[in-house]
Each structure stands twice: as structure tokens, then as C-alpha cells.
Amino acid sequence: MSEIIHSPTRALQLREHEVSLPRSQSAPLPEHIIAASEEMRELVSVVRTISPTAITVLLIGESGTGKEVFAELIHDFSERKGPFVTVNCGAIPEGLIESELFGHEKGSFTGATGQRKGFFEAAQGGTLFLDEIGEMPLQLQVKLLRVLETGKFTRVGSTSSLTTDARIIAATNRDLDLDVRSGTFRSDLYYRLRAVMLRIPPLRNRREDIPFLIETMLEEFVRRHKITGPDGRPQMPQLRGDATELLINHEWRGNIRELRNTLEQLVVLACSPSRMDDRAIITRRDVERALSADVASIWDGERAYQRPLPAPPQGLPKEQSERELIYRALLELRSEIAEIKTMLSYERQQPATPGPLALPPSSVLPTAHTASANGGIRPLDELETEALEGALRYYHGNRRHAANALGISERTLYRKMKEKGLE
């Protein structure tokens, strides 16, 4: 039988040792911040250094790595008296985001029945966290740059300038360098935001943290779901050694968000009344089932096989959570679809004579309809229009699904459709 490992006291002692950073003598980390890996210790050390200042910070990392958690940590260490205000720049319609950020005066636009303060005023004396900053419209980026440089802004419909001392922390999972080169993000704003740029490592790059994250999350879920043993006391599930090893070595494409979802499922199932006697044990088989609980069948032309779907994001509105889940699944399928397209394209170019079909080369060959005098190279604008039309046609006009398949936000899709006359 595999060894059962679960020692809260030992793990707690290790955690206290690991978060004792050499460059900082400040208070210990909050319980939900795990910094056992070298990369995380360095990151937290920088956070401690910059927190007392007012410098602008740009957090970069994959979805689910905990960018908002680090933004809150910077705010908490700063000892600012004002609130921590979060704004999801990708979730606010383009026509409303300026009013949401800067506020508006009565009558400034249809529906403005009264004066309203924006997020910059709400975050006065505190921190304003601009999540998904890469989704901010270009025309608004200019106004944000002015606020960062002067601390002044104007409500929509007003001529009077207001001053804010809110600290700005921005975050994105996009490559803003590429966005700057493509012209969708202003270079001056980018360099102003990245006064300090922190990259949050994905979970697969800090596997030393996973055992501590597991223990912390298990304790949280036991409390949340009121899991108790026969004596009525909280019942902590125990992980077999091979189950823990599987959790540590999993890829975790959804990062901490996916880990939380998996562990919560394991706690609820392993601690169900039908399984519990004197203790709850999570086996390797339990973990395998949890990691492949949601599957989708994909037909490759010869056989059907199963693929686990990404874990749904936690703590988000239902619509946004569903959108992110679809987006992740489509990203995983995109490379396989590209390979299939390449095979089909190459097959169409083969002569209609009998004989074995040669395998296509590794490079993607242009199809017949792309051939032109310039060697098959087509303008980017033309390719983009074709991609938009194809996605909308494939999803029968469903803009949300089309946007997710293209890897862009709905707002960006609307803007591009308008630019190309596809509305």
C-alpha cells in the first residue's frame, strides 16, 4: 500500500521556514500566499520592496496564476488607508468604460440621470487594480496615460479637473510587446505602466509550492463544506503518496484556479458519507478521475478519443466563467485543427493519379486560392477579414463563440467587424 502522507504540523513548520525571506525582516506572509519555490521567494521579496512606494506595477502571467492576489498583497503591504478597487477592463462595454473609470456628470449622455463617481475617485487614497489592461480601447489609453503622468482626470461631461492619488496596478495575460508592435496598445502607456513589471510564474514552474497549496486548500474546503468525522470534528482527508505525486506532476494549464477546482471536487467526493469510516483517504484513482471528470469526444477521422476539459474559473460571474472555459478548450483544439487543415490543403494539391499519398512537409503550404504574384503572401488585413468571416459563419453568427475561437474579446470582435463592414 502506498504511504499516506498528511502532516499539518510538519507542513506548517516548513512553510514558516520557506517564507522567511533573506532580504526582508517584515511581517510573515498571509496564509494564502505560498512561497516555497525560489522563483516565488524572489517575487515576494520584490513585492515587499516596492509596496511602500507609489510606483506603478504591471503584473504579467497566465490566467489563473493569481495576479489579483499579488495586487492585493502589494496594497496590504503598502498600508494605504484607502480601498483596494478592482476593474476588469475586458468585462466593461467599450462605450461605458470611460464613464466607469472617470465618472460622469448628469446629462452627459443618454441615461446619465445623475452625477456618478468613477473608479479613480472610489480608489482615492488606495489602490486601483486594472485587470485585463490589454483590452482597454486605444482612445481611452491616452486618457489613462494622462492620469498616470499628472494624477488628473475629468469626468465625462465636465470641464473641471479632479486629482487622484490612487496607486495604479495593472495586469494582463497578453503579450503587450506584440500588441505594441501591432498597434493595438500604445507604447508610451506600456512603458509607463511597466515602471515595475512582475511576471507571475505558472504553477508548473513552481511545483515546490504545490504540496503547501494542497494543504492550505484542503483545510479551506473542509471548513467551507463543513466536513466532519464521526466525532463531529472537522475531518481532514488524507492523501496517499502516489496521489500527491500525481497532483504535483500534473501540467495545471489552468494554474491555481484549476488546482482549487480539482481539490474541492476531491474533498467533497472523498469525504462523502458513503466512503467515510474513521478517516477519509484520497487515492491516486480519485485524482485520476477528478482530472478527467469532464471529457469531450473528438473525432480524428478514424477513432474517437477523450480529452479532459479545462477546469472552470472560480469566483467569476457565470457568463464570464463560461466564456473563459470555452476559450481555453478552443485554444487546446486550435493546433490540432491547424494540422488537419494543413493535411487537407496538401491533399488537394496532390495529382489525381493513383499511388500513395506523400506526407506534407512540416511547413504550412499555401492552398490554391492563396496563390498570387507575390509568392502566395496575402495582406494581413485580408487574412484577418477572412478569419472573422469564417469564425462568424462557423458559429452561425454567435459573436461570443466566434470571439473565443479567435482568441479576442467580444468588444474587440465588435470593433473589428465595424472596421471591416461586417456588422
> Could you say which architecture CATH assigns to the domain 205-293?
Orthogonal Bundle (1.10)
290 DSSP 8-state letter:
H
User: For the chain, how many residues are written?
Assistant: 423
**Domain ranges in the chain?**
38-200, 205-293
With a threshold of 0.75, does the pTM exceed it?
A: no
Burial of residue 421 (number of CB atoms within 10 Å: 0-12, 13-18, 19+) = exposed
Q: Which of 243, 326, 307, 268 is nearest to 63 (CA)?
A: 326
At 154 the pLDDT is 93
Q: Extract the C-alpha cell encoding 18.
A: 520557506
In 3-state terms, what secondary structure has residue 162? strand
Q: Extract the C-alpha cell encoding 233.
A: 470534528
From first to last of the 423 residues of the chain, give the pLDDT tens digit: 333 333 333 333 333 333 332 333 344 666 668 888 888 989 999 999 999 999 999 999 999 999 999 999 999 999 899 999 999 998 898 888 999 999 989 888 877 788 889 999 999 999 999 999 999 999 999 999 999 999 999 999 888 999 999 999 999 999 999 999 999 999 999 999 999 999 999 999 999 999 999 999 999 998 888 888 777 788 888 899 999 999 999 999 999 999 999 999 998 887 766 555 545 788 999 999 888 854 333 323 333 334 444 454 555 555 555 555 565 555 556 545 655 555 555 445 544 444 433 333 433 333 444 444 555 566 777 888 888 888 888 877 778 778 878 878 877 888 888 888 887
* DSSP for 225-254, written as a single string: TT-B-TTSSB---EEEHHHHHHHHHS--TT
* Residue type for position 404: N
> Could you say which architecture CATH assigns to the domain 38-200?
3-Layer(aba) Sandwich (3.40)
Phi-psi region of 162 (alpha: psi -120 to 50; beta: other; left: phi over 0): beta
d(CA 404, CA 423): 18
Burial of residue 204 (number of CB atoms within 10 Å: 0-12, 13-18, 19+) = middle
